[in-house]
Structure 1
Amino acid sequence: MTQHTLDHPAQLAAEVLPFPLIVFDDLKRVLWLNTAGQEWLGVSSRKLSKRGLDAIHPAYSRIADPVFQAIDTGQSVILREVEIAGAQYDLSASYDHEVGATTLCVLPAPAPRRQEHQAALGFGKMLAHELKNPLASIRGAAQLLEPSVSGEDRDLPQTIIEDVDRITSLANRWSSIGDVELQADEPVNLNRVCVEAFERLARSSSLADDLIIEQFDPSLPQGRGDVLLLQQVVLNLLQNALDALEDTDRPRIRVETYYDALDRGADGSRPAPLVIAVRDNGPGVSAELRGSLFTPFVTTKPAGEGLGLSFCARIAQLHGGRLDYESTPSATSFYLKLPADRRG
């Protein structure tokens, strides 16, 4: 590895920085990167020196864009809100004419402004308030029916009561969007979370059983958090997929769980390798919505409020994970990515 960069007086300060710092020479080779950079990329300095950028995961390939521009033009280049490995980053490539090197600084992009959520905050409070009376009426009616129901339907009133209690709990806790709090911190079996979400969807849609294909990893490590909220995230993603398939020939929803050992986490610090993927073969997300899909009140549904994906993304964040997606005109995949349970 070339050593002249390592002798720079600022090396010690660069080494202790909490964000990635990577130095390239004029031949576009990596000269040096700090510890934060190695952890973020998931690759050592030695491996990078031997293989170059080919050593990094393809999800991180865009870090080269501003660097190569800076080297080719001899000027500093800044790219804002670049999506890398499912997160947004600001990339600053500074070209140094004296030493013939370009230093890339990687910073997490600023979080979306809180103003985007102000209208949603008021709506969440109103929603919780307005739901209480009809939910109480439904629960009361189910309790009255329970003694008179027999045969194969005898479990239906209790099922209604359980679902109403679950919705009431969510409404009470989701009194303000973006300020949801986890009510539990316990080991979570993500395969079981998916199964229970299937069961809830099947009670509301007779089509669900015929459309869903399961592909679970039986050895998936446990996650940790609030089972009820994670179930709701999966249920929302399933319902969205079901809605997207309304006019699709041979509709299919595939739900997978797997372990992604290459995931480095949204901020480069805490990996989120546990993945629940919900895939459909619908028409895909329209181009005009892709940049604001997780913003409250953004929706393509004629009767939708546009709160589901915002809610899902917030719950993923509260669990130390994130919600990603990929979409083409014939396929869409949403990925709920969560940390493994370190206590286990």
Structure 2
Amino acid sequence: MEATSTAADDWPSLLSATDPLHLLRTRLAFDVGFEELAFLHRTPEGWRRDDAGSRPIEEKDLPPAPAAQGFEAQERLGSTLRAAFRAGGHVWWWIVRRGDPFSDAESAAILGRLREWAPAMALRDLAQDLDAARGQLDLILRHSADAIILVDAGNRIRFFNGAATEIFGYAAEEVIGLHYDILLPPDARGKGEADRIRQAVEQSGTVNDLECLRWSKDGKPLALKVTGAAVRGPGGTLVSRFSFIRDLRPIKKLREELVRAQSLAMVGELAASVAHEIRNPLASMLAGLETLRSELHPSGASDEMFRKLLEQIRRLDDTVERLLVFAKPWEVSPRDYDLDAVIRGVAGMLGRESKSEIRLRGPAPCPVFGDPQLVEHVLVNLIRNAVEAGGAAEVEVSATEANVEIAVRDPGPGIAPEHQAKLFRPFFTTKANGTGLGLATCQKIVQAHKGSIRISSAPGRGTEATVRLPRAVR
């Protein structure tokens, strides 16, 4: 006996089968709707399931069968065949049928029924495969690391995945159905750029690695790389297009940081070399002038000239010292310390020095693991800058389990937008007597602590410098 199957690739064998019991099984499979059928038949060794390797069924488990001369003899004589109808591991009922072959009319009816069901079963299997493929594709599109946007022929957004939300700031439900122009810079909207993109994709089928500017929900420009692909319908007409988008900002930031690091390394080497060459002559000049002044005892204009010369030499010596400090590699020597105590010490010293108000806000104490001397150097620079810019300063500390943030604010005139991108460049300064090394040195120290520093400012609204440090540098 052959095993019953309803798989699509078994239909030819089913349709050509002549075994009456085989046809009986098939009919039952369709009429009853069970996916698994198991039958028993009589053999000289006893009742057995008709699939090879199954365990023998005990005679006591079955209803009595007529005395027989073996299964073949019973079938040949047309005696009764008893078969168990099993589904889900249980015997549901017994089938009793004469062993006579089906008549031609019965066989024709069964085969006709099978032919009716074959296309429906094939379509059902195909629909299941399509549903599975659709689910897999949807999963890939929604969880892709690249932003994926589907735009129809009318430039309306029809699909917007999670990565697109992260880049543009819009939730999918906010943009589905809207015109693609919403993602363009304001001055480019309504000027046909979406149509030009559609035409380019329609003509070539794809647009590869197009670098372009787009606009986020919060009004920020986005440097992106876009690859477009056409989706065509019957006749080759463009139905929609996919845009695969990659954010270039992290890549550009890494490139800028690499260039900056290389530049800083070169500047540091040059600064160290120049500083060493200048420092010794400066020391000799300073000592000589002080000796000459003490011996000559000048007065009036002569004494004023000596005083200014000494002041300028000391200023130059201070610049050389700053160059050496900037050029040296910063090595963190961490230990447990109280950040609040360091801040209070710096604020007290600079408050007395400048006779300015320095307000403190934040947790006290604030235990941190790091290099207190280097952090103190950063705080001196930032708080002194704030006092010099606004006549007063506010220092606020906020802490989480992992990080601590120090914000230094001043009520001064602020920093011009064109200067803000240059603040951490060596030798850039907006002060009349500045060296341009203070913030560059602060950044090196903070980075040595695996932290970050940023400055936000607007003309007429003051400046805020924020240092973020991990609470443990180990």
**Of 72, 97, 100, the match for 2:242:** 100
Aligned residue number for residue 241 of structure 1? 386
Q: Deviations over 1:35-80 (max 9, x none)?
A: xx98x99x9xxx966789xxxxxxxxxxx778x9997863734459
Deviation of 1:194 after TM superposition, in Å, equals: 1.4
CA distance in 1, matches of 2:361, 2:409: 11
The aligned runs of 1:250-289 (5 Å cut-off) are 251-259=391-399, 273-289=403-419
Q: CA RMSD, aligned part only?
A: 4.5
1:100 alignment partner, SS class: strand
Letter in 2 for 1:242: V
Letter in 2 for 1:92: K
CA distance in 2, matches of 1:30, 1:342: 40
Aligned residue number for residue 430 of structure 2? 300
Partners of 1:194 and 1:231 within 8 A in 2? yes
Letter in 1 for 2:225: S
Aligned residue number for residue 212 of structure 1? 358
CA distance in 2, matches of 1:224, 1:51: 45
Corresponding position: 1:118 with 2:266: yes
- Cα separation, partners in 2 of 1:323 and 1:183, compared to 1, 3 Å: closer
- Cα separation, partners in 2 of 1:65 and 1:334, compared to 1, 3 Å: farther
- Cα separation, partners in 2 of 1:206 and 1:303, compared to 1, 3 Å: closer
Corresponding position: 1:185 with 2:334: yes
Deviation of 1:176 after TM superposition, in Å, equals: 6.2
Aligned residue number for residue 343 of structure 2? 194
Higher RCO, 1 or 2 (CA under 8 Å, sep at least 6)?
1
1:275 alignment partner, SS class: strand
- Cα separation, partners in 2 of 1:101 and 1:279, compared to 1, 3 Å: same
CA distance in 2, matches of 1:49, 1:340: 38
CA distance in 2, matches of 1:190, 1:290: 28
- Cα separation, partners in 2 of 1:102 and 1:183, compared to 1, 3 Å: closer
% identical aligned pairs: 23
Q: Structure 1: which 5+ residue stretches go unaligned?
A: 16-20, 53-63, 83-88, 138-167, 246-250, 262-271
Deviation of 1:285 after TM superposition, in Å, equals: 1.0
1:298 alignment partner, SS class: coil
CA distance in 2, matches of 1:124, 1:103: 45
User: What TM-score, normalized to structure 2?
Assistant: 0.44
Q: Deviations over 1:158-195 (max 9, x none)?
A: xxxxxxxxxx9xx69x7463652224122343323312
CA distance in 2, matches of 1:228, 1:219: 18
Aligned residue number for residue 471 of structure 2? 340
Deviation of 1:29 after TM superposition, in Å, equals: 6.1
Deviation of 1:214 after TM superposition, in Å, equals: 0.9
Partners of 1:22 and 1:103 within 8 A in 2? yes
- Cα separation, partners in 2 of 1:229 and 1:342, compared to 1, 3 Å: closer
- Cα separation, partners in 2 of 1:176 and 1:102, compared to 1, 3 Å: same
2:431 alignment partner, SS class: coil
Q: Deviations over 1:91-144 (max 9, x none)?
A: 43444444523323353421134235534443345557839979xx9xxxxxxx
Deviation of 1:24 after TM superposition, in Å, equals: 3.7
Deviation of 1:238 after TM superposition, in Å, equals: 0.9
- Cα separation, partners in 2 of 1:337 and 1:274, compared to 1, 3 Å: same
Aligned residue number for residue 291 of structure 1? 421
Aligned residue number for residue 22 of structure 1? 147
Tell me how many residue pairs correspond in the alignment: 255
Aligned residue number for residue 139 of structure 2? 6
CA distance in 1, matches of 2:332, 2:385: 25
- Cα separation, partners in 2 of 1:29 and 1:236, compared to 1, 3 Å: farther
- Cα separation, partners in 2 of 1:197 and 1:298, compared to 1, 3 Å: same
Deviation of 1:273 after TM superposition, in Å, equals: 4.2
User: What TM-score, normalized to structure 1?
Assistant: 0.58
- Cα separation, partners in 2 of 1:23 and 1:305, compared to 1, 3 Å: same
- Cα separation, partners in 2 of 1:24 and 1:260, compared to 1, 3 Å: farther
CA distance in 2, matches of 1:324, 1:316: 11
CA distance in 2, matches of 1:260, 1:335: 15
CA distance in 1, matches of 2:195, 2:347: 53
CA distance in 2, matches of 1:340, 1:51: 39
Partners of 1:213 and 1:253 within 8 A in 2? yes
2:161 alignment partner, SS class: strand
CA distance in 1, matches of 2:375, 2:158: 44
Letter in 2 for 1:103: I
Letter in 2 for 1:314: K
- Cα separation, partners in 2 of 1:206 and 1:305, compared to 1, 3 Å: closer
Partners of 1:185 and 1:224 within 8 A in 2? yes
Q: Deviations over 1:266-313 (max 9, x none)?
A: xxxxxx842111100111112331121100000011111110011111
The aligned runs of 1:26-41 (5 Å cut-off) are 26=151, 27=157, 30-33=160-163
Partners of 2:449 and 2:473 within 8 A in 1? no
Partners of 2:346 and 2:376 within 8 A in 1? yes
CA distance in 2, matches of 1:215, 1:321: 21
- Cα separation, partners in 2 of 1:235 and 1:94, compared to 1, 3 Å: farther
Letter in 1 for 2:383: L
Aligned residue number for residue 140 of structure 1? none
CA distance in 1, matches of 2:435, 2:414: 19
Deviation of 1:328 after TM superposition, in Å, equals: 1.4
